């Protein structure tokens, strides 16, 4: 049965969910567009109107999670980086099964690309010097590697504990460049 009169966003979500369900049974590399569109209940033309590749579906998934996270915290007054990181990890923990599936299939690099894209978009007016740009890449890399570690341990550590351990290595005068967007 084909879906009709549905927004582009919903179509993207159907396609994304179909891909993630199929990845439980089959390797990402061997999945075909036909399998994805059949599972999603959409036409191939709908797929190609929204995505140029299967990787773009995973990119949409990560972008969507990050967007929803920022929407969730935009009205909160998060005062420190530890709380920010804890909230971020707790939000991603809700997606544990899907995140581990993506990690196990070697697609985590797409997450790094999305972190870079999203944080640079949000900071474009603040990035003036090379030092600030390098600082942003440095912070994004740290967050990404915390996630990679977490994925590699099957996300067994609770988000609060991982956040506390992660910030314990920071110097007392640490002012995260990423955190400026929420202040």
Three-class SS of the chain: CCCCCCCHHHHHHHHHHHHHHHHCCCCHHHCCHHHHHHHHCCCHHHHHHHCCCHHHHHHHHHHHHHHHHHHHHCCCCCCCHHHHHHHHHHHHHCCHHHHHHHHHCCCCHHHHHHHHHHHHHHHCCCCCCHHHHHHHHHHHHHHHHHHHHHHHCCCCCCHHHHHHHHHHCCCCCCCCCHHHHHC
C-alpha dist (Å) from residue 62 to 47, 74, 107: 18, 18, 11
Tokens 């870079």 belong to which residue?
116
Name the token pair of 182: 């929420």
Greater confidence (120 vs 98) lies with 98
Greater confidence (66 vs 94) lies with 94
pLDDT value at 104 more than 70: yes
Predicted model pTM: 0.85
Mean pLDDT in residue range 105-133: 83
Q: What is the sign, positive or negative, of the torsion defined by CA atoms of 33, 56, 109, 150?
A: negative
Q: How confident is the model at residue 29 (pLDDT cuts 50, 70, 90)?
A: very high
Greater confidence (158 vs 77) lies with 158
Q: What is the reported pLDDT for 113?
A: 92
Rounded to a whole number, what is the distance in angstroms from the first to the last CA of the chain?
47
């Amino acid at each position: 049965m084909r879906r009709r009169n549905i927004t582009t966003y919903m179509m993207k979500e159907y396609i994304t969910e179909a891909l993630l369900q199929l990845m439980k049974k089959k390797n990402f590399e061997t999945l075909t567009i036909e399998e994805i569109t059949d599972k999603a209940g959409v036409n191939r033309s709908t797929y190609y109107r929204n995505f140029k590749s299967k990787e773009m579906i995973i990119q949409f998934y990560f972008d969507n999670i990050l967007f929803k996270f920022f929407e969730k915290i935009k009205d909160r007054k998060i005062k420190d980086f530890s709380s920010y990181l804890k909230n971020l990890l707790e939000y991603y923990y809700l997606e544990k099964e899907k995140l581990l599936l993506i990690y196990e299939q070697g697609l985590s690099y797409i997450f790094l690309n999305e972190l870079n894209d999203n944080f640079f978009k949000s900071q474009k007016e603040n990035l003036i010097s090379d030092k600030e740009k390098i600082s942003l890449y440095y912070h994004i890399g740290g967050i990404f590697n915390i996630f990679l570690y977490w994925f590699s341990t099957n996300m067994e550590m609770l988000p609060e504990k991982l956040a506390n351990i992660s910030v314990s290595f920071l110097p007392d005068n640490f002012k995260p460049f990423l955190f400026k967007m929420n202040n």
